[in-house]
């Protein structure tokens, strides 16, 4: 039996366009028979190496204004609910990404990740405090208190740090990003379809 | 008779993704029965107000590396010839944009603009020197010498400056950008389809 192709989905919980990808990537991957590997990471350290101490959408106000309008348009086009804008933006995603890192091999990683994105961008809720992340875990029938504690361990913090170093070393500079098994890097929700096609072996003519 | 909807296409000759849009916007607009207004402008002064003295693709090397690969992929996907990378990048587009500004109301604006983009991104030619721009004009059966001279007039330089101020005042922060008659701003070749649809009156549910 042929092994299914895998696509890595690198996402950051504070990232608006990661939200759009998270809500639609499963259906696209299923149709193309591509297996997904969800890779939560922190964008802040990568932005810091680029000299950014804030989201580019805040650093460049005209870009930020249009991003929110574009997000409204894209959410509507993709059939998602109206977008809520987190305050402050970007939200502190440290607690959520620690939990996702801890849950990397758990079957709750995907439902948890989608619930975090929905809380932030569709329900107007905070994801910044550990208690908010704990409530999301509880709502999924998990033990929020226990998972938060395990996620705050030094071993898990180390895993998160290694994931960030891996992201940077593999050329990732923003989120969402998609990486195929042969190292092809696609950046942005706009490239999700192309990334899935590439992973499935469908490449534009003349490229390899 | 109903007046046709118009879409403004703001482009910069040094911009890689403006090239992709320039080569495909006419067919899309024709299908949607949308009239185009080609709006050449200089991105440099807008980048300067954002604190950038170079292309972001040069300022952020990981982003730049992936942009060139993405451009190869997108060109192949869109059926365009293999991309050539101008050296240096970005090319000095001042002479070309002066000519395009001078030709704003001429029927050669579009063929000239497409020829400049093709020279730069498909034929490996320079567009930086006035002589190179003159050769492109000549190749279109125009009087390169006369047009270059007119394009270098103070009146025409003033028009170009006003276009840049208009771009910024209308929220443009990158290229290509698309502006509808009701002021909806779309940024990037990835939004061309959405911009055309919006101009034609086709909006995502719940948005206005």
pLDDT at A142: 98
Structure tokens at A176: 């969402």
B174/A77 Cβ within 8 A? no
pLDDT above 70 (res A101)? yes
Enumerate the residues of chain B whose CB falls inside 8 A of the CB of residue A69.
Answer: 184-185
Contacts 24+ apart (CB under 8 A), B160-165: B160/B41, B160/B42, B160/B97, B160/B98, B160/B101, B163/B39, B163/B40, B163/B41, B163/B101, B164/B41, B164/B42, B164/B45, B164/B46
Which residue shows structure tokens 């992709």? B20
What would the DSSP string read from start to end of A121-162?
A: HTS----SSHHHHHHHHHHTTS-HHHHHHHHTSHHHHHHHHH
Distances (CA, A) of A183 to A29, A179, A208, B68: 18, 6, 11, 15
- Cα–Cα distance measured from residue A80 to residue A105, given in angstroms and rounded to the nearest whole number: 28
Enumerate the residues of chain B whose CB falls inside 8 A of the CB of residue A185.
Answer: 66, 69
Enumerate the residues of chain B whose CB falls inside 8 A of the CB of residue A60.
Answer: 50, 173
Give the pLDDT band (50/70/90) at residue A53: confident
Q: How far is B159 from chain A (nearest CA, A)?
A: 23
B50/A187 Cβ within 8 A? no
pLDDT at A1: 56
Count chain A–chain B contacts defined by CB atoms under 8 A: 63
Q: Measured between CB atoms, which of B82, B172, B206 is closest to A76?
A: B206
A115-159 pLDDT, tens digit per residue, is 999 999 999 999 999 999 999 999 999 999 999 999 999 999 999
Give the pLDDT band (50/70/90) at residue A50: confident
pLDDT above 80 (res A68)? yes
Locate all alpha helices (DSSP H) within chain A, ordered by sequence: 16-32, 44-49, 56-59, 61-77, 94-102, 109-121, 130-139, 144-151, 154-169, 192-199
A72/B186 Cβ within 8 A? no
pLDDT at B1: 56
Q: How far is B131 from chain A (nearest CA, A)?
A: 34
Enumerate the residues of chain A whose CB falls inside 8 A of the CB of residue B82.
Answer: 206
Mutate one of A43, A60, A202 to test the B interface: name it (highest B CB count within 10 A): A60
A159-201 pLDDT, tens digit per residue, is 999 999 999 999 999 999 999 999 999 999 999 999 999 999 9
- Cα–Cα distance measured from residue A27 to residue B71, given in angstroms and rounded to the nearest whole number: 26
Average pLDDT score over residue span A81-98? 96
User: Widest CA span of chain A, in angstroms?
Assistant: 53
Q: How far is A151 from chain B (nearest CA, A)?
A: 30
pLDDT at A2: 66
Residue A185 sits at φ, ψ, to 5 deg, of: -110, 125
The predicted complex's ipTM stands at 0.94
pLDDT at A20: 98
Rounded to the nearest integer, the mean pLDDT of chain A is 95
Active site residues of A: 15
User: Widest CA span of chain B, in angstroms?
Assistant: 53
**Which residues is A7 bridged to in the sheet?**
A36, A180
B204/A172 Cβ within 8 A? no
pLDDT at A49: 87
**Which residues is B38 bridged to in the sheet?**
B9
Residues B21, B11 contacting (CB under 8 angstroms): yes
A60/B194 Cβ within 8 A? no
**Eight-class DSSP state of B38:** E
Residue B108 sits at φ, ψ, to 5 deg, of: -90, 0
- Cα–Cα distance measured from residue B179 to residue B148, given in angstroms and rounded to the nearest whole number: 29
pLDDT at B3: 80
Active site residues of B: 15
B17-54 pLDDT, tens digit per residue, is 999 999 999 999 999 999 999 999 999 999 888 888 88
A187/B70 Cβ within 8 A? yes
Domains in chain A: boundaries: 6-199
Q: Measured between CB atoms, which of A184, A190, A206 is closest to B190?
A: A190
pLDDT tens digit at each of 208 positions of chain B: 568 999 999 999 999 999 999 999 999 999 999 999 999 999 999 988 888 888 889 889 999 999 999 999 999 999 999 999 999 999 999 999 999 999 999 999 999 999 999 999 999 999 999 999 999 999 999 999 999 999 999 999 999 999 999 999 999 999 999 999 999 999 999 999 999 999 999 988 778 7
Enumerate the residues of chain B whose CB falls inside 8 A of the CB of residue A207.
Answer: 72-73, 76
- Say which residues have a Cβ less than 8 Å from residue B21's Cβ, sequence separation at least 6: B9, B11, B176, B189, B192
A205/B76 Cβ within 8 A? yes
pLDDT at B2: 67
Which residue shows structure tokens 């580019």? A56
Class of domain B6-199: alpha beta
Enumerate the residues of chain A whose CB falls inside 8 A of the CB of residue B168.
Answer: 62
């Amino acid at each position: 039996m042929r092994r299914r192709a895998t696509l890595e989905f690198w996402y950051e919980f504070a990232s608006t366009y990661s939200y759009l990808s998270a809500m639609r990537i499963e259906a696209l991957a299923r149709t193309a028979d591509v297996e997904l590997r969800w890779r939560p990471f922190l964008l802040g350290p990568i932005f810091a190496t680029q000299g950014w101490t804030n989201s580019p959408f805040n650093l460049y106000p005209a870009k930020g204004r249009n991003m929110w309008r574009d997000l409204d348009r894209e959410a509507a086009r993709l059939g998602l609910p109206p977008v809520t804008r987190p305050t402050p933006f970007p939200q502190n995603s440290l607690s959520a990404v620690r939990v996702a890192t801890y849950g990397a091999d758990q079957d709750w990683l995907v439902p948890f990740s989608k619930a975090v994105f929905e809380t932030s961008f569709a329900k107007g809720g905070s994801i910044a405090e550990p208690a908010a992340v704990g409530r999301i875990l509880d709502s999924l029938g998990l033990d929020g208190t226990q998972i938060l504690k395990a996620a705050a361990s030094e071993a898990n913090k180390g895993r998160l740090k290694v994931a960030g170093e891996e992201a940077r070393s593999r050329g990732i500079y923003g989120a969402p990003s998609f990486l195929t098994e042969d190292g092809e890097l696609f950046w942005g929700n706009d490239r999700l379809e192309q990334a899935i096609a590439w992973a499935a072996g469908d490449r534009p003519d003349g490229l390899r």
